[in-house]
Chains A and B, each alone.
Chain A
């Protein structure tokens, strides 16, 4: 599994993740919506799921989550769990349709981001934080999900490039040759 992590997709997802992390910690802590910080790294994890399915989304979420934990000084793995699940949930889109419309990708990216944001306090609960479910969570989750959905037209193609996913090419079946 570890060998699989270091293959192709990571070569792109790590630098892109680093850049997004830097943006997250600079401009996106300033630009807030109703006091809520938009989670662009989480949005990329969810977009990776929407673009590449549950497995790839989970891998991307895991890597991005670890990077997030390392830079934020959080317990290593706490955000990785949340982002892994975000990618996996967004990847459920692949169960519905192989080549989703942009609005479907938007919907599932938002759904995955919402799950990821909800999972953050859930993980905190297991790591010993008393009452991590703030009242503001009812505001935070929709705003983060909506932002991820709005960013999906940019992030889904970006995730597709990071993960090395090529669009399916529909070809006509070979014509039956006449005997």
Chain B
């Protein structure tokens, strides 16, 4: 008997063609296949739970052996980070309040109004290409494919498929992930706005004017606690927003304002100054530097933003700029979810504009609890 006959080749070809047929049907969307998948997931649930329990000791032992040194170093680094965060926490809470007030004044939609729900990460993709995690809530919690997922640091991805009790979340580092984003100036690059209280010389003004600097490279969000996401850590971080501290002698002429000037009378907002000062927040330019699409590039590689154009006369994109979601009519993510910070800029020849490497705020390699933002794109709302 021949070992490799035409008949045997036919079987292999038939199996390959069947795979292609199933692939085509599934990619076009097939409710029968979806139900089969759901059913198989249900069957596997108890097996996976049991396996998880049995293998956890072995897994922990392996990690204890291989990751001990890394954990020790990380623990020290985290302790340093915690100390710094405690110092900035109070400022951050005030910033959240001020941010909400500003948004309310400008009549902008706020993320706090969007319902969210916490879920726990229960698994990760077991192949080497996908950057997908699995969470323990699904359709029964109102989750739908496309909903953005965040953690306390910022955006981590979007839901790509749901079953009744689980959902798959594609991380922002996955090569297939794309989200519209906005680049804004870093806190350190915020230029103080000249103010002109009458009767003061420039030197006196320099002595009087105190520009509050934002904590360096610190992003504070309170997503899981308050359901609120900050676009950046401080109002001062917004380009053109400057806090000016003046003596309260009553002799000052009113600051010249235009419709963009927003006086802040909230005592909380002045808490960073003494009780004898008046804080004036001047919003001169909230315009972002540039819009673009953030694309994941796979495990171990930083996501990139490709820009349609780069106009240096309007703004210079640079390392340290902040990246937040842009929102928009078709975008699956609402605006202003923090995404990351620009860590590298690569200029390209031609009209392609620069490439920006983004360091995500969220460490997507270590996720436990996440929050699903139940956001429906405007394009679907209007339908």
Residues in A lying within 8 Å of B, measured CB to CB = 1, 18-19, 21-31, 35-37, 39, 53-55, 58-59, 62, 65-67, 70-81, 84-85, 88, 92, 94-95, 98, 117, 120-121, 123-124, 127, 129-132, 134, 136, 140, 144
Say whether B165 faces chain A, with CB atoms less than 8 Å apart: no
- Does A71 lie within 8 Å of B41, measured CB to CB? yes
- Does A120 lie within 8 Å of B127, measured CB to CB? yes
Known: A74-B130, A136-B298. 18 other contacts (CB 8 A): A19-B51, A22-B47, A26-B52, A26-B55, A31-B59, A35-B300, A55-B11, A58-B11, A70-B41, A72-B130, A76-B37, A79-B127, A81-B20, A117-B128, A121-B129, A127-B27, A134-B175, A144-B128
Number of A-B contacts (CB under 8 A): 151
- Does A59 lie within 8 Å of B23, measured CB to CB? no
Task: Say how far A1's CB is from chain B's closest CB, in angstroms.
Answer: 6
- Does B22 lie within 8 Å of A76, measured CB to CB? yes
Residues in B lying within 8 Å of A, measured CB to CB = 3-4, 8, 11-12, 14-16, 18-23, 25-27, 33, 36-37, 40-41, 43-44, 47-48, 50-52, 55-56, 58-59, 62-63, 123-130, 132, 160-161, 168, 175-176, 298-301
Partner of B129, one of A18, A35, A67, A120: A120
- Does B59 lie within 8 Å of A30, measured CB to CB? yes
Task: Say how far B87's CB is from chain A's closest CB, in angstroms.
Answer: 35
Query: A-side binding surface: helix, strand, loop or mixed?
Result: helix
Residues of B near A54 (CB, < 8 A) are 4, 8, 12
State in angstroms the CA–CA spacing of A135 and B123 once bound together: 25
- Does A39 lie within 8 Å of B48, measured CB to CB? no
Instruction: Determine the residue in chain A with the shortest Cβ distance to B36.
Output: A70
State in angstroms the CA–CA spacing of A37 and B299 once bound together: 12
- Does B51 lie within 8 Å of A129, measured CB to CB? no
Residues of B near A88 (CB, < 8 A) are 12
State in angstroms the CA–CA spacing of A123 and B126 once bound together: 17
Residues of A near B48 (CB, < 8 A) are 22, 25-26
Of B44, B56, B62, B128, chain A has the most CB atoms within 10 Å of the CB of B128
